[in-house]
Structure formats: C-alpha cells, structure tokens
Amino acid sequence: MWGWLRRLAGTPRDIPDALWQATLTDYPFLATGLPAEQQRLRELSAGFLANKEFHGAQGLVITDAMAVAIAAQACLPVLYFGAGRQPLDWYDDFVGIVVHPDEVLAQREVMDEDGVVHHYDEVLAGEAMQGGPVMLSWQDVAAASSERGYNVVIHEFVHKLDLRDGQPDGCPPLPAGFLGISSARQARDHWLATLQAGFEDFREQVIRAERFGAPPPWLDPYGAEAIDEFFAVASEAYFVNRPQFAQDFVALLPLFDAFYRPGA
C-alpha cells in the first residue's frame, strides 16, 4: 500500500514507468494523445498526487495504481489549461479524495414550493462538493468504458470545473474572447444556449426510450436529470470516445474543443 506514493510528501516525483504504463493499459483512452501530450499528462498527474490526500472508506486500501489511475483521469480535462502547474489551480479548492469500494447510499432532503420537506435516498457513484472533497466509487472508476462513454472520475472533476464560478449550472468560467466572442457574459450566454439545446435533445431521447421503447442514447441517462449533469456526462464521452461524441453531438464539439483544448 502506498509504496511509491507515500514518499511524495508534497513534492512531485516522476511516476514510475511500470506504474504509468499499467495505467495506460487499464485506461487506453489516456494513451490516445501524442507523446508530448502523454508526458504532460504524466507530469500533471504527479503534481496532482503530491497535493491531494486519498482516503479509503469502509476498509478500502488505496494502492499506488488506484491513486495514479484517478489522478490521470482527473487531470485529463485540464491538460491544456496552461503551462507548469497552472492547470491544477482549477482543483485548488479541495485536498481530499474519498474512495469507497462501491456505490454509496446518501440520505437527501428537499423542500418543495409549499415548504414541505421530503426525505429520500440517492445511490451515488461519485460526488463533488463546492470547496469540499471528491467522493468516488472504485467499482465505478474501474468500470470506465469508452464504448459506453462512461467515466465517473471525469464526471466528478468536470463538476469541479463547473463549480469554479460558484454555480452548478453546466457552464464553467469562460474568458472574454472565447470562440471569438467579445465579452465573458456573451460567451456564457452562447455556451448555455448551445448546451441547453443539446440537453433538451438528449432528454427527449431518454424519454422516448424509457416510455415508448425507442433505442436508448449511448450515454448515461443520468445526464437527462439536469443541465449540469448533462455537461458532466457529455464531457465523459468527449474524453473517452471522441469519434462517437463528434458524431452524436455536432453542435457541442466546437464548444468543448474551445474550452478543453484552448490553443491546441
């Protein structure tokens, strides 16, 4: 346990070759970039590991392989977000990553418009809290699938990007000049309008599949719950199966390219 990782002590050290190559084998979508991109991902992953704390829940022992796998997938969305350690600044609002063996049953409560509080249970594969830790189910981390466009690590860390401006609304902070749009406010409006159209179309596909037996979309139907969940679910697919994403989400591709690959 923690043979290599426990020696980091806050200082980034190279991820051992055997450990990195095993990660690429287990998660082949991480190995699709050019050699320089893979090296950059490896460096960012080492920096991520040096500044985060992993905690195994319910007796789960976090191995070096598990930690590196999570780090590499977490760093993939921010790979092009600047030089040096700049990309990791997007994740500077938290330190802890809690990993459970499998899904977690969380107790929830909501108040309706009449002021009545409703209690319910929700099964979670992961959760990202603003200013707080990230929770992951290792069972779901290991079940990452390019075929299904499924990746719980990317999903939760995209939520962290979305939350950078304090609002879980499916729109991360955007700069003036994004996609050639003069102001940040206009860029945000364009993002939300484009994403909303994609969300409504996806939700309609899920409804037709569930109610009328139509072919289901290839992505997790959980993306139909809300626009912020759609952003996270669509981002999973963008990173793990770009060809299929480009085919099914033509309007979203230039949007995501401009955000996730600025200047690339």
Give percent of the chain above pLDDT 90: 81
Please check whether residue 84 is in contact with residue 46, taking contact to mean a CB–CB distance below 8 angstroms.
no
Q: What is the pLDDT of residue 103?
A: 79
**Crossing angle (nearest 10°) for helices 17-26 and 64-75:** 70
* Interatomic CA distance for residues 117 and 125, integer angstroms: 25
Contacts with 61 (C-beta within 8 Å, 6 or more apart), sequence order:
1
pLDDT tens digits along 11-58: 668 899 999 999 999 999 999 888 999 999 999 999 999 999 999 999
Amino acid sitting at position 56? G
Q: What is the pLDDT of residue 1?
A: 43
Q: What is the pLDDT of residue 106?
A: 62
* DSSP code per residue over the chain: --TTGGG-TTS--PPPHHHHHHHHHHSGGGG-S-HHHHHHHHHHHHHHHHH-EEEESTTPPPPHHHHHHHHHHHHGGGTTS-STTGGGGGGTT--EEEEESS-EEEEEEEE-TTS-EEEEEEEESEEE-TTS-EEEEHHHHHT-BTTTTB-HHHHHHHHHHHGGGT--SS-----TTGGG-SSHHHHHHHHHHHHHHHHHHHHHHHHHHHHH-PPPPSS-GGGGS-HHHHHHHHHHHHHH-HHHHHHH-TTHHHHHHHHHSTT-
Question: What pTM did the predictor assign?
Answer: 0.90
Nearest CA-CA partner of 70 in 117, 149, 5, 164: 5
What tokens does 54 get? 């992993």
* Interatomic CA distance for residues 91 and 88, integer angstroms: 5
Please check whether residue 157 is in contact with residue 134, taking contact to mean a CB–CB distance below 8 angstroms.
yes
* Interatomic CA distance for residues 128 and 235, integer angstroms: 15
* Interatomic CA distance for residues 162 and 230, integer angstroms: 12
Stretches where the chain sits below pLDDT 50 are 1-2
The domains found in the chain, sorted by start residue, are: 1-168 (1.10.472.150), 170-264 (no CATH)
